[in-house]
Amino acid sequence: MSSQGNRKPVLSASQRNIIKYCIDNAKDDIADRIIRRAVERKEDFKYFLDNLPRVSTVAWWWLSIVTEIKLRNFNTIGEIN
C-alpha cells in the first residue's frame, strides 16, 4: 500500500502529466526558479532567507541543490501533492 493509502489524488491525471512534462523539460536553473518563486509568494520564506547569516549565498546554493535533487529523484509523479 502506498503512503497515500486510499486518498483521492490531489491532482488529476492530466495535471500530473503537465507537471511531469515540465519537470522532464526543465531548464538547468529550475531549483533556483522554484526558490525565487517561493520568496516572491511566501513572506515567511523570504523573511527566513533574509535573516540567514551573511553566508546566505551558500544557503541559497544549498537550497537550490537540495531542490534540484528532490526534483530529479521523483520515482512517481504521485509524490507531487
> pLDDT tens digit string along 18-70?
878 877 776 767 777 777 888 888 888 888 777 776 656 667 777 777 777 77
Cα(21)–Cα(77) distance, integer angstroms: 10
Structural domain total, the chain: 1
User: pTM higher than 0.75 for the full model?
Assistant: no
Angle of CA points 33, 58, 40, to nearest 5°: 30
In a domain, 11, yes or no: no
In a domain, 57, yes or no: yes
Boundaries of domain holding 62: 27-79
Cα(17)–Cα(1) distance, integer angstroms: 23
Q: Which three cell numbers stand for residue 11?
A: 491532482
Q: Is the pLDDT of residue 9 over 70?
A: yes
pLDDT at 39: 83
75 or 20, higher pLDDT: 20
pLDDT at 69: 72
